[in-house]
Structure 1
Amino acid sequence: MAAPPVIAVVGPTGSGKSDLAVSLALELDGEVINADAMQFYRGMDIGTAKITPAERKGVPHHLLDILDVTQEASVSDFQQQAREAIAEIHARGRRAILAGGSGLYVRAALDVLEFPGTDPALRARLEAEHGEVGTEALLARLRSVDPVSAGRVSDARRIIRALEVHELTGRPFSAFMPRREYYQPAIQVGLAVDREALRARLAARVHRMVDAGLLDEVRRLDHRGLRQGKTASHALGYSQFLQVLDGTSTVEAAAEDTVVATRQFARRQLTWFRADPRITWLDWQDPELVVKAADLAR
């Protein structure tokens, strides 16, 4: 008997993905797989709005709290872990429900997407070269071998990665871009938001995080190496509140900066997910949201 489609709940931060995923799991006898890259990190709870054990309502959750803040999140590792979790859930006769707003991670789990390898020595050589000649020189080289990628990237890290892939594989990095082709059957449910209402909700959520002890959480994680984490240190709220610990910002200013950054992030998420025609959008505040999403999944 064929496995049922994977259900993916997607949309911008603050739209209620975690709650809908739990409700669907209860309705459909499912288990939830986290696809929010910052919720991989142990101890990053308040600032990521990580769903609490009580809010999970007994539904098993996978790929939460799997990394220390000093470790770097990897899309390719996540792809393998998510697909293993999906297979295990289906083997138990249950429904796999992916939930999260990290767009590339969702695509990695759902879509045909190949990840080229890495070579630390090659990467180190390119980074050293970048230190000598600068970003523009490396970007010019990338244009000569992979004009498509050169038109998409501008920061040094991504330019170096694209050059590394070309040297390693002989193929342009753009050849590894995801296709809108499911790896296995899937259904994507998107939460359609009222943008002004979301803006207000995000601001209120950041202030609740501050009241709940975000600064103390950042202080604890700082002692555990947060600043050394290439991924975790850039998380929304955490980078802003590290400045409070350094004395270069105030709690009030850090909170406002986090609100602005979170709203910008939500806009980028909406742009990303709106570009995928396979997503069925449901009103985030519809009283029948769970029923309609469950009907889609069935």
Structure 2
Amino acid sequence: MRPIAVIGPTGTGKSQLALEVAERLGGEIGVEVVNADAMQQYRGMDIGTAKLSVAERHGIAHHQLDVLDVTQTATVARYQEAAAADVEAIAARGAVPVIVGGSMLYIQSLLDDWAFPATDPQVRARWEELLAEIGVTALHAELGRRDPAAAAAILATDGRRIVRALEVIELTGQPFAASAPRIGAPRWGTVIIGLDWETETLDERLARRTDAMFEAGLVEEVRGLLDHGLREGVTAARALGYGQVIAALDAGGTEEQFAQARELTFIGTRRYVRRQRSWFRRDHRIHWLDGSAPALADAAIEQWRDVS
């Protein structure tokens, strides 16, 4: 059964569209959803990731949600292996896999069957030690000297990815981009639907989304997760919203600090959306839909039927 993927920037309504597609197709054939949002893999990280509740899933099976504790590190390699197994098992049951999310590397690793370059614990440990010694800004500068293109693509605050890039460069003797997947025929013949909005409208949606998360209890959710080791998490603690709330709590947790955390979450999300757009717009396989258009589920299914 040919999968359908619903992807695009944060805040565009992908989860809802994927659910509507699944419900429409579910009237004819079996359908199951596979998550492709890195932070929705974490148990307890619900409000800040806009994760659909069990009730909101309307009885449709969702995979790769709530599969990690906040102390565990989310990796593309783990996700690729587990999600690919889910997709193939769903298809083997005679159902349609609906893949949904906006995590760029996760989606490409899954749909392009990315073969990850080797890793060497000693090499990685050496770069991690240097990161601890000189700091993330200086290590990013070192990456810039060795591979300017990689430095331009990786945030200067993302120590984990900087270390990984330097490790790969050292092990392969090639630029980091040489190990990236090539865009070809999507795995399993997946039909890829992209959802986006006009920039000003999406910014307004992101502002409302951020306000709604804080009003729904994001601060309380973070407090509870800190009791379960969120602060020690390598990836979970850096998630948009969660990192900002942790910083506000550490600074004293005043109303003013939480207001600043809300603003910084919105700014960070808007910046992330720009990166997502840049990444996804390079993929010629995506059939783009305007989020403001009517009958989006019908349009997505029509694309799937045309190819299928």
Q: State if a TM-score over 0.5 links the two structures.
A: yes
Query: Corresponding residue for 1:287?
Result: 294
Q: How far, CA to CA, are the matches of 1:31 and 1:105 in structure 2?
A: 18
RMSD: 2.2
TM-score (norm 2): 0.87
Asked if the contact 1:138–1:160 (Cα under 8 Å) also holds between the matched residues in 2, the reply is no
Decide which moves more: 242-251 or 90-99: 242-251
Asked if the contact 2:143–2:150 (Cα under 8 Å) also holds between the matched residues in 1, the reply is no
Q: How far, CA to CA, are the matches of 1:46 and 1:114 in structure 2?
A: 33
Q: 3-state DSSP class of the match of 1:71?
A: coil
Query: Corresponding residue for 1:126?
Result: 127
Q: How far, CA to CA, are the matches of 1:80 and 1:265 in structure 2?
A: 25
Match runs of 1:77-88 below 5 Å: 77-88=78-89
| 1:253 alignment partner, one of 254, 260, 280 | 260
Q: How far, CA to CA, are the matches of 2:205 and 2:152 in structure 1?
A: 35
Shift of 1:18: 0.5
Asked if the contact 2:140–2:151 (Cα under 8 Å) also holds between the matched residues in 1, the reply is no
Q: How far, CA to CA, are the matches of 1:240 and 1:5 in structure 2?
A: 40
Query: Corresponding residue for 1:209?
Result: 213
For 2:187, the aligned partner's letter is Y
TM-score (norm 1): 0.90
Asked if the contact 1:130–1:138 (Cα under 8 Å) also holds between the matched residues in 2, the reply is no
Q: 3-state DSSP class of the match of 2:55?
A: coil
CA 1:28 to 1:166, structure 2 compared with 1: closer, same or farther past 3 Å?
same
Residues 224-268 of structure 1: per-residue CA shift (max 9 Å, x gap):
111111111111111111122121662222111111111222222
Query: Corresponding residue for 2:91?
Result: 90
Q: How far, CA to CA, are the matches of 2:173 and 2:198 in structure 1?
A: 46
Q: How far, CA to CA, are the matches of 1:58 and 1:239 in structure 2?
A: 32
Q: How far, CA to CA, are the matches of 2:170 and 2:233 in structure 1?
A: 27
CA 1:168 to 1:216, structure 2 compared with 1: closer, same or farther past 3 Å?
same
Residues 35-67 of structure 1: per-residue CA shift (max 9 Å, x gap):
000100000001111011121111100000011
Shift of 1:136: 7.1
Q: How far, CA to CA, are the matches of 2:161 and 2:286 in structure 1?
A: 28
Query: Corresponding residue for 1:116?
Result: 117
Asked if the contact 1:36–1:100 (Cα under 8 Å) also holds between the matched residues in 2, the reply is yes
Query: Corresponding residue for 1:51?
Result: 52
| 1:24 alignment partner, one of 21, 29, 40 | 21
Match runs of 1:236-247 below 5 Å: 236-246=240-250, 247=252
Residues 132-173 of structure 1: per-residue CA shift (max 9 Å, x gap):
675378437735xxx754665574544432332244445553
Q: Which runs of 5+ in 1 are unaligned?
A: none
Residues 4-44 of structure 1: per-residue CA shift (max 9 Å, x gap):
32211011111110011111112223111000001000000
Decide which moves more: 38-47 or 113-122: 113-122
Query: Corresponding residue for 1:180?
Result: 183
Q: How far, CA to CA, are the matches of 1:59 and 1:157 in structure 2?
A: 35
Q: 3-state DSSP class of the match of 1:184?
A: helix
Asked if the contact 2:43–2:69 (Cα under 8 Å) also holds between the matched residues in 1, the reply is yes
Q: How far, CA to CA, are the matches of 1:142 and 1:200 in structure 2?
A: 39
- Say whether residues 1:10 and 2:7 are aligned partners: yes
- Say whether residues 1:165 and 2:165 are aligned partners: no
Identity %: 49
Q: How far, CA to CA, are the matches of 2:162 and 2:298 in structure 1?
A: 45
Q: How far, CA to CA, are the matches of 1:98 and 1:238 in structure 2?
A: 25
Say how many residue pairs are matched: 292
Q: How far, CA to CA, are the matches of 2:130 and 2:209 in structure 1?
A: 43
Decide which moves more: 91-100 or 270-279: 270-279
